[in-house]
Amino acid sequence: MSAPRPQPRLDADNRAFWTGGAVGELRLMRCRDCATFIHPPRPVCRKCFSENVAPEAVTGTGVIDTFTVNHQKWHPALQVPYVIARVAIDGAPGVFLTTNIVGCNVDEVEIGDPVRVTFEQQGEIYYPLFEKIG
Amino acid sequence: MMTANDAYITGVGQSQIGVKLTRHPLLLTLDAVKEALAEAGLTIGQIDGVSTYPGRMQGYLGFSPVGVDELIDALGIRATWYAGGGEITSQLGAVVAAAAAVRAGLARHVICFRTVYEAAAMARPDEFPPLRRDKVDGSSQWTAPFNALSAANWTAQYAMRHMKRYGLTREQLAQVAITDRAHAALNPRALTREPITMDEYMSARMISTPLCLYDCDRFTDASTVLIVSAASAIDEVSCTPIRIAAMAGTVARHSWDQAEWMASYQTGPDLWKRTDYKPSDVDTVQFYDGFSFYVITWLEALGFCDVGEGGRFIEGGKRIALDGELPLNTFGGQIGAGRLHGFGFAHESVVQLRGKGGARQIPDDPRVAVCTSGGGPLATALLLARD
Ligand SMILES: [Zn+2]
């Protein structure tokens, strides 16, 4: 199941996002002054320019905003088909994560489906994938 | 309409279009330059500007093997202005930059070029190594780790949402590919000259749902050149100048997944704010179709139909055929003619507005065209007119 995935290079901005799964947390950067979520994570709030930003755990649930079933083997090691989705994150208005929907058949995914995060660990990275709720 | 401060597209040129070409990419560029100069009646000594997208990409030579600096040196151009880079509103942003430069008096005649060598690079990886990264960073870290590896995956999700929200069908989307391929059959330079049928489209293998093989362009080797000339220098040009009547390139959120829709939906209205022309004045549209779905978005974004109606607008295909009310991608688009990467749409607009389309010429003397490039957070639109 867990073929090697492209690995993000960790840095000060993204480390919380990519490693939060070690403690079961989906962490998003958030402004402590105006409460805006900042994704992709950056050291400044895009709404109020505050530098008082820090990662914060969200509930880890969301809704499938849109998706596609990829059938193309972009490289020989890729196992197809698989679902790529864009998930709207509950409690973090305006934040969408591109991810994979796992734990169901590829033809069981629909826009609007509620989903919950599940982490796939490879090395120091915890990939936030999502599975359908219920 | 014309003013002393206008910018024009004058000479246009194109190399052969192929896959796995062995001709040096700089020489393909030269072929296109020579054709454009000959059409404009200009010599290389009159060229004083160069503009390209995205510039030579050292780590990804197939995508962009020729840079401005290389072209300037190789052809002995004495440039008073030049630019090349990928951080611009997409491929035709290089033409926008050139037009701005000639309007500002920084140059008189600017060669704008886009050279692609992706098919040749795949065949000769030792010479043109593929993009390799140990780790992903920047914007690609938000997609690649989930094996959303291609713009096909990113675009497919917009198309899927359009289907669910507005009822776009595969049969409607098919009209882009079918129209492109029918038009490519009339273009002697086109990469793919065989038409396809609805049955072939519907039974094609899926790439990334709802996009099938025929919804995607494919790697191509070619060079396209457009010369942008200043109004003050237009007397030096022997071909009919095509006026750049308006330009737009907009982005609200520079991201493939954080924005609700593609940037085209902002760029389209912006274009019409900058001109007295209206969509009903347009005689042909040459819309970026790296993926067929982009055509749907541009039709809606530019107000040829309401948002959500793009699929129904092209249903049956008659409206966008060569003899239809709004002929689309008359050279075959990228799906039919090859992945010229944006510049083909401006090139064809000029060809049609000059009446030089040959077997694929739009009837009834077209005078106004819109061409576009980009997808996702990238969008550029040009309104071109023959006065
Ligand atoms: Zn803030």
For residue B148, the chain A residue with the least C-alpha distance is A84
From A11, A69, A98, residue closest to B257, measured CB to CB: A98
**At B189, which helix (H) or strand (E)?**
none
Q: Are A104 and A96 in contact (CB under 8 A)?
A: no
The b-or-e profile of B350-374 (16+ CB within 10 A means b, else e) is bbbbbeebeebbbeeebbbbbbbbb
Give the length of chain B.
387
Assigned domain for B107 exists: yes
pLDDT (tens place) for every residue of chain B, 387 residues total: 567 789 999 999 999 999 999 999 999 999 999 999 999 999 999 999 999 999 999 889 999 999 999 999 999 999 999 999 999 999 999 999 999 999 999 999 999 999 999 999 999 999 998 887 789 999 999 999 999 999 999 999 999 999 999 999 999 999 999 999 999 999 999 999 999 999 999 999 999 999 999 999 999 999 999 999 999 999 999 999 999 999 999 888 999 999 999 999 999 999 999 999 999 999 999 999 999 999 999 999 999 999 999 999 999 999 999 999 999 999 999 999 999 999 999 999 999 999 999 999 999 999 999 999 999 999 999 999 999
Interface pTM (ipTM) of the complex? 0.98
pLDDT by residue (tens digit) across A8-54? 999 999 999 999 999 999 999 999 999 999 999 999 999 999 999 99
Assigned domain for B350 exists: yes
**At A93, which helix (H) or strand (E)?**
none
Whether the upstream peptide bond of residue A93 has omega within 30° of 0, thus cis, is no
Instruction: Determine if residue B275 is left, alpha or beta; phi over 0 gives left, psi from -120 to 50 gives alpha, anything else beta.
Output: beta
**CB spacing of A82 vs B147 below 8 angstroms:** yes
Give the length of chain A.
134
Assigned domain for B60 exists: yes
Assigned domain for B61 exists: yes
Kindly report whether the global pTM for this prediction surpasses the value 0.90. Answer: yes
Distance of CA B185 to the CA centre of its chain: 19
A127 touches chain B (CB under 8 A): yes
- Distance separating alpha carbons of residues A129 and A100, to the nearest angstrom: 5
Assigned domain for B189 exists: no
Long-range contacts from A40-46, C-beta under 8 angstroms, 24+ separation:
A40/A13, A40/A14, A40/B139, A40/B142, A40/B255, A40/B258, A41/A13, A41/A14, A41/A16, A41/A17, A42/A13, A43/A12, A43/A13
Please report residues of A whose CB lies closer than 8 A to that of B142. 40, 97-98
- Two tokens, residue B360: 């694929």
Q: Are B159 and B168 in contact (CB under 8 A)?
A: yes
Domain hosting B373: range is 7-127+218-385
Q: How many domains does chain B have?
A: 1
Please report residues of A whose CB lies closer than 8 A to that of B149. 6, 74-75, 78
Domain chopping of chain A, boundaries = 15-132
CATH assignment of the domain containing B348: 3.40.47.10
- Distance separating alpha carbons of residues A74 and B61, to the nearest angstrom: 19
Assigned domain for B205 exists: no
For residue B292, the tally of other CB atoms under 10 A from its CB is: 31
DSSP-derived pairing of the beta strands B368-373 and B284-286: parallel
